[in-house]
Structure 1
Amino acid sequence: MKILGQLQSDIRSAWPGIFTTITVIFVATIYLPSGTICATTRSGKQLMESECGSQLRHLQGNEAVREVSPPKLKGEWMSTRCEVRPGPQYLTRQYKFHHDNKFTLHQFYYTDHRCTEPAYTYKVKGALALQSDSLMLKGAREANYILDKVILMVYKDNYAKALSKLLNKTCPGEYYPEVLQLFEKYTVFDWNRDDPYGDCIEGVAFTMHELQLMREEFHTEFDDKKSEFVSWHELFLGDVHTDNSLRTTHRPKTYQTPLRKYQTNCTVCQFMHDADENSPPKMWQNMDKTDVEVTLQGEFISTRCEVRQVYFVIRHIIFHHNYSWEAYYHYYNDPNCHHPEYSIYVKGTHTMGVHSTEVSGGTEFDFKTIEMWITPQNNMIKDQLNNFNENNCARRNSWRLNRPQEVTSTNGCAALGISLPYTEYELMRMETTKEGGVLLFTGQRPTLQTSPSSEELRPTSYQTPLMRCSGVNPLMQLAVTADTNGTGGAAGLTSSLCFILVLMVFSMLTVQH
């Protein structure tokens, strides 16, 4: 009984502290952005972490991604989502590389952006020879290939008529029916055929130049649900030109969406593995994904270190409720995003979204960039900016390492090929995952342009998706995030609340002890 009485007495004396703790947690739950973590160092300095900041740290110091060089191609590689190529073209890929350097590839094309209605399939046979490391793109390997045979099978009447017309442009009379027969195999390329009708693929702009550039990566991460580490291989192949008329002469300079190597514990791999030209896969019916209306609110960050034609980049974009936006672009000189070159911070406005009439599932926006700050992050970039002949990238000789400088007043930065203000004509799409995450797809950049600067250059395909995150990024060290014009209040409010909550907990503990 004495023990019970003492316990009751301890609970009554501790109740004010318990109540205060519950209050602190309640306030934090209501007012702090989801995913924000508050902490203090021994010196009392406030620290903040967030989902966005955690993802950026993960990408910048990611040791769980390892290059496999040279690529070990033997095996089966396949799409893990419905891919969208410029045009638009909706497709999935299933590529098999054999031990003798030969390959058997399937490209399944669809009528819809979910890849549920097969339209036609190319079955491709040939051989591949790896070459040296690419001089154009760090971390990439070049290759040469030879086609042996290309077989076409069509499943939809409208495509049967359109493809027959295109094939007859190259090989008049060879494909004499005005409409190709459905589920019939047509050999549209045959290396061993001597007559002119051995190569009829020019009219349909078919090419396998993506095999000229490649990179293999080995990924490892901890699966919280399984409480174990999981691993997989990804194969990046060369990009496809955004202008269809130049596709057959284009040599890749960047990558497409990566393919994943077949594993028995991979659900999407399993039904892709079982597919062929006689039974094309229906992607969306076998995936836990849902299309949602594009809502530009909140923060989104890269899901991987993204590749550009010269640099590699991590993007972090923040959308506000008043059709304004801001973004951070961190540029690197290596495919793992470990070695920074410079970062850009921009602010601007955007229009309301309009459903695309050209790209199924897409929404069109116009983005205007009005303000810009640049931060040089290595000495070469700093010297390049300081030595630029004219004062149209801030003042000459005014650049300092890791110090941001505004270039709005000089209408951009000619040294980096940027002029302000400018408008980009965007295409976006949004989907949710089975884990409850949100992915935002933004438009693929034009192959021969730095940005889609006109309506004619509006994208018809997508880049690597961004993932929705929350909180304030702790690595944003740019002074411009201060609330100088009323747009930086969210970060300041979060910081103040975090400080108050830490102070409340500290005071509570001091009183109790």
Structure 2
Amino acid sequence: MAAGWCERLPPQPVRSTPMLMKSYGTHSKHDHCHYMLKHLQDGDEIRVHMPLDIVGHWVSESCEVRPGPEFLMRSYHFYSNHTFQAFQFYYQDNYCTEPSYTLLIQGTVHPRQGSWVVRGGTEADYQLSRVLLVSHSPTVARELQAKLAWSCGLKEHLEPALSYEVWAEGPEHSGRDCTRSLDFSMQELQLLRVERRHRHGDPGRQGEELFLGDVHTEHTQRRLHKPSGYQPPMLSVKTYDHTCITCRLISAADLHHPPILPSQNDHHLQLYGNWVSKRCEVRPGVLFLVRHFVFHEDNIWEGHYYHYSDPFCRHPTFSISARGHYSQGVPSTKVMGGTEFTFTVTHMKVTAMDMATTSLLNIFSGDECGKQGSWQLGVQQDVTYTSGCAALGIRLPHTEYELFHMERDSAGHMLLFNGQRPTNGSSPDRPHKRATSYQPPLVHCIPSQEGSSGSVSIWCMLYPMTQIWYHSTHLLIITGIAGAVVKWS
């Protein structure tokens, strides 16, 4: 338990965190979900080997959703001479059954030093040499031709199934770049992380996952964005589980033959019950967390966020407890397969989980986050009467516009996705700011057994004192309802 509820480091002496152990004991009504989280901790042992080795063939685990929205799957080959060849397969639907176009990207990538921005990640330099484009239908070819004509004056008539060079380096090509209108960028190669998971009970079996940098939620910022988080992990072709049909289809695909996933119907979105994180998650802004949501039939919601200062989720710093209500969902007209909700926070409690955060809350002037100067390590305060916590950037009541989606993974587990947080750290507090892509999924554990009047806890952790910047009168943090994004100013 001392190692956290997500992934476990290789065996080593670990000193328990008394306040964390105490906090676990407050959730006895969710024992089944806690057991599931504990099982996730024990089921896989995570190792991150340095120096970084990304050589091999990596593929998406499912149909991915990027901001826009864009639906795609990826197949990347990295070679020992630092060259790479990457396929990006784009689709018209959220289940990747209708291919739109494919990009073949070639170039070089050189891993460098450990990241100063995202703990546990490795920074890298990359250089593109060539990008080819193939459309897979006459309609898509016409749409792409219109875009390319606008971005680089392309007058050639695009034909489906034929490849076109849209990016090339070298003086003989005059540095041709016709990819701007496609919102194309490979900035994701600037941040890398490889995890090896040793499956519980079978030391000989291990799965490898490659995490690449996140894509900015604003299209205009993609080419300038320096990653501060990750996209969904890609699986090694050598080690992925045999049940991953998607992996097999992607690994056999090429420029002219995109993978086509089996068709399926959208799952009826039923939030009722408990949902927990599948892994220790990473958020832009150097944040690591495990989440636990509880939805009641009377449209009351709870959230449990366990935030940490490290990528293995071992070191908690403070907790937030909140509760509120949510609207009935309506199908999204912008994101295929998505459902729109409105969430409101009406109650909130805060607990400092380390001395650094305790000190920061105590130096915050004014009674806008509990009673000034009264914060003690591990002692929870109700801040509802102060209309939230100005030190954390949360004023009550607080409303956000959310996007949810539900599907099953290759093992048959029901997954729940909610909206990706804006890269700039803002809150989706207006309808037009609603997400068009998703955070890492939560897995269903058990239905809620307690009434809406039950206690609620959201645990959020921040970095140690030496990592925190603050104003003399405000510790500026913006914490979202479902995303727990924190931004320093």
The equivalent position to 2:323 in structure 1, one of 343, 347, 353, is: 347
Does 2:254 align with 1:276? yes
The amino acid of 2:306's aligned partner reads H
The equivalent position to 1:140 in structure 2, one of 112, 121, 125, is: 121
- The aligned residue for residue 210 of structure 2 is 235
Does 2:190 align with 1:212? yes
- The aligned residue for residue 261 of structure 1 is 236
The equivalent position to 2:403 in structure 1, one of 427, 433, 436, is: 427
The equivalent position to 2:138 in structure 1, one of 157, 171, 174, is: 157
Does 2:50 align with 1:84? no
- The aligned residue for residue 221 of structure 1 is 199
Does 2:55 align with 1:64? no
Distance 1:99 1:166 in 2: 36
Distance 1:451 1:305 in 2: 22
Distance 2:38 2:363 in 1: 32
**1:126–1:434 Cα change, 3 Å:** closer
Verify the 8 A CA contact 2:303 2:322 in the aligned structure 1.
yes
- The aligned residue for residue 361 of structure 1 is 337
**1:64–1:184 Cα change, 3 Å:** same
Does 2:97 align with 1:116? yes
Verify the 8 A CA contact 1:59 1:305 in the aligned structure 2.
no
Deviation at 1:170, TM superposition (A): 2.5
The equivalent position to 2:313 in structure 1, one of 327, 333, 337, is: 337
- The aligned residue for residue 290 of structure 2 is 314
Distance 1:139 1:277 in 2: 33
**TM-score, normalization by structure 1:** 0.78
Distance 2:65 2:304 in 1: 26
The equivalent position to 1:394 in structure 2, one of 367, 370, 373, is: 370
Does 2:175 align with 1:200? no
Q: Deviations over 1:292-346 (max 9, x none)?
A: 1111101111111111122111111100011111111111000010110112221
- The aligned residue for residue 304 of structure 1 is 279
The equivalent position to 1:191 in structure 2, one of 162, 166, 169, is: 169
Does 2:465 align with 1:487? no
Distance 2:128 2:211 in 1: 20
Unaligned runs of 5+ in 2: 1-26, 458-489
Deviation at 1:457, TM superposition (A): 1.1
Verify the 8 A CA contact 1:82 1:284 in the aligned structure 2.
no
Verify the 8 A CA contact 2:274 2:448 in the aligned structure 1.
no
Distance 2:252 2:386 in 1: 58
Verify the 8 A CA contact 1:76 1:97 in the aligned structure 2.
yes
Look at both structures and tell me which one has the larger radius of gyration over its CA atoms.
1
Q: Mean alpha-carbon deviation: is it higher for 192-201 or for 343-352?
A: 192-201
Corresponding residue pairs, total = 427
Sequence identity percentage: 39
Q: Deviations over 1:48-89 (max 9, x none)?
A: 873310233356678711112232111000001000000000
Deviation at 1:290, TM superposition (A): 6.4
- The aligned residue for residue 356 of structure 2 is 380
- The aligned residue for residue 468 of structure 1 is 444
Q: Mean alpha-carbon deviation: is it higher for 196-205 or for 397-406?
A: 196-205
Distance 1:62 1:338 in 2: 16
Verify the 8 A CA contact 1:142 1:213 in the aligned structure 2.
yes
Verify the 8 A CA contact 2:303 2:456 in the aligned structure 1.
no
**1:435–1:108 Cα change, 3 Å:** closer
Distance 2:29 2:256 in 1: 55
- The aligned residue for residue 294 of structure 1 is 269
Q: Which runs of 4+ in 1 moved over 6 A?
A: 46-49, 60-63
Deviation at 1:157, TM superposition (A): 2.5
Verify the 8 A CA contact 2:131 2:166 in the aligned structure 1.
yes
The amino acid of 2:236's aligned partner reads K
Verify the 8 A CA contact 2:290 2:307 in the aligned structure 1.
yes
Q: Deviations over 1:76-127 (max 9, x none)?
A: 0000100000000000000000110000000000010000111000000000
1 or 2, which has the higher helix percentage? 1
The amino acid of 1:244's aligned partner reads H
Distance 1:85 1:47 in 2: 37
Deviation at 1:47, TM superposition (A): 7.5
Verify the 8 A CA contact 2:45 2:200 in the aligned structure 1.
no
Distance 1:221 1:358 in 2: 39
Deviation at 1:452, TM superposition (A): 1.4
Verify the 8 A CA contact 1:50 1:472 in the aligned structure 2.
no
Distance 1:134 1:142 in 2: 5
Distance 1:63 1:85 in 2: 28
Verify the 8 A CA contact 1:154 1:184 in the aligned structure 2.
yes
Partner of 1:165, secondary structure, is helix
Verify the 8 A CA contact 2:272 2:447 in the aligned structure 1.
no
CA RMSD, 1 decimal: 2.5
Deviation at 1:446, TM superposition (A): 0.8
Distance 2:385 2:43 in 1: 37
**TM-score, normalization by structure 2:** 0.82
Q: Mean alpha-carbon deviation: is it higher for 190-199 or for 438-447?
A: 190-199
Verify the 8 A CA contact 1:110 1:120 in the aligned structure 2.
yes
Deviation at 1:398, TM superposition (A): 1.4
Verify the 8 A CA contact 2:44 2:199 in the aligned structure 1.
no
